[in-house]
Amino acid sequence: MKVLIVDDERAIRYSLKEILEMENAQVDTAENGLEGLEKARKEKFDAIFCDIKMPEMDGVEMLTKLVEEGIESPVVMVSGHADITTAVDCIKRGAFDFIEKPLDLNRILITLKNATDKANLVKDNRILKKKIYGREMIGASAPVEHLREMIGKVAPTQAGVLITGPNGSGKELVAQSIYQLSERSMMPFVEVNCAAIPSELIDSELFGHKKGSFTSAIKDHKGKFEQADGGTIFLDEIGDMSLAAQAKVLRVLQEKKLIPVGGDKEITVDVRVIAATNKNLQDEIAKGNFREDLYHRLSVIILNVPSLDERKEDIPLLVEHFSEQICGEAGKPVREFAPEAMKLLQERSWPGNIRQLRNVVERLLILGGNPVSAQDVKDYAL
């Protein structure tokens, strides 16, 4: 647990520091609001105790700045000269609590526990939202707005969707968005990377197997289609699926039934299929690598995800998003990118698309300054 104490009275700072360190807290101190604000920008604190009357920048001004800059550490205001009006004003401005001097040991410890509990709830809530709603689609360019519009029309239907686009462009994100906006959003969303499953295991992975059907089958196993029953299955990189597996997937789509490996009874499944590929499936059909009948089953709706080079105006929004995400995961304040640095990022080509951009942003946050400069981009990104 990390705690910041901001108070211009040395005796208060160190007595409070001693109390909190006895509770195994890591404590940092600052003697005015300006110093406290700088420390809060550089490091994530689980709680901040802040005096109200201080030179250079008082506690209320510091609290206001913290809230404006989105620094989520719970702030406990401390004062020996305040009345109820001041306390209410601080709470309205975003303070977690308000305590009076002289400080009471029990009150301090209870307030600290409540503040850290709140911080943990905020963190858990963010993680839970991420699990439920996935990642948001970032961008305001015309191609992205068109894609959003198409997703909004397609999602409420039961139509099969084929998502095309280059590697790293965000096809999985589009699939998740369709699922989240669909009537099946409360049912399972099962992802399958067809390129990552060995051909000899694809049947077992997709359709399941019965105990004893092969050497390592020590118990019954539900396949991905059965796991997704009532929900949605996302077949990523479907262009890499073998012809034999394609035939079985087609049967499931046509008859809504499957037979596990080693089984003799049909299992009925109700699954919506979303597929994605970076290949031109029409070319693969011509080469004999992909079944035309399966293609027509999958491609009732075709959504093309634009490459990053086709939507460079979205790069500032994406960089800001990735910076917030990466800094948040590291427990550090969000870093800025200088306008010249952003311009250089927009001028370069991105063959690896959004995945490549995220990796570059992470590298710049680790190796670059604050803010990240144009020279940092030249040194570490180009």
Question: Token pair 């046509």 is at which residue?
Answer: 254
Could you tell me the CATH number of the domain that includes residue 267? Answer: 3.40.50.300
- Report which of 58, 91, 67, 302 is spatially closest to residue 178, judged by C-alpha positions: 302
pLDDT given for residue 123 in this prediction: 62
Are residues 294 and 320 part of one domain?
no
pLDDT tens digit sequence for 77-89? 988 776 678 888 8
Q: What percent of the chain has pLDDT over 90?
A: 59
What is the full DSSP assignment across 96-164? SEEEESSPPHHHHHHHHHHHHHHHHHHHHHHHHHHHHH-PPPP--SHHHHHHHHHHHHHTTS---EEEE
pLDDT given for residue 131 in this prediction: 44
Are residues 323 and 245 part of one domain?
no
Last residue of a domain, one of 101, 133, 165: 133
Give yes or no for residue 122 having a pLDDT over 80. Answer: no
Higher local confidence (pLDDT), 105 or 147 = 147
Are residues 245 and 147 part of one domain?
yes
Give yes or no for residue 133 having a pLDDT over 60. Answer: no
Could you tell me the CATH number of the domain that includes residue 115? Answer: 3.40.50.2300
Alpha-carbon Rg for the chain, nearest whole angstrom, is 27
Could you tell me the CATH number of the domain that includes residue 343? Answer: 1.10.8.60
Cα(290)–Cα(281) distance, rounded to whole angstroms? 7
Are residues 271 and 147 part of one domain?
yes
Query: Considering the entire predicted model, what is its pTM?
Result: 0.65
* Straight-line distance from the first to the last Cα atom of the chain, in angstroms, rounded to the nearest whole number: 39
Cα(291)–Cα(334) distance, rounded to whole angstroms? 48
Are residues 111 and 96 part of one domain?
yes
Partner residues linked to 209 by β-bridges: 221, 261
Q: How confident is the model at residue 259 (pLDDT cuts 50, 70, 90)?
A: confident
pLDDT given for residue 27 in this prediction: 93
Total structural domains within the chain = 3
pLDDT given for residue 24 in this prediction: 87
Cα(27)–Cα(21) distance, rounded to whole angstroms? 7
pLDDT given for residue 72 in this prediction: 80
Are residues 6 and 122 part of one domain?
yes
pLDDT tens digit sequence for 204-241? 889 988 887 776 677 788 899 999 999 999 999 999 99
Inter-helix orientation angle 171-180/142-154, to 10° = 40
Last residue of a domain, one of 276, 306, 336: 306
Are residues 253 and 105 part of one domain?
no
Token output for 345? 């990022």
- Residue range of the domain that includes 98: 2-133
Cα(47)–Cα(267) distance, rounded to whole angstroms? 54
What is the full DSSP assignment across 33-87? HHHHHHHHHHS--SEEEEESS-SSS-HHHHHHHHHHTT----EEEEESS--HHHH
Last residue of a domain, one of 114, 133, 152: 133
Give yes or no for residue 55 having a pLDDT over 90. Answer: no
Are residues 374 and 278 part of one domain?
no
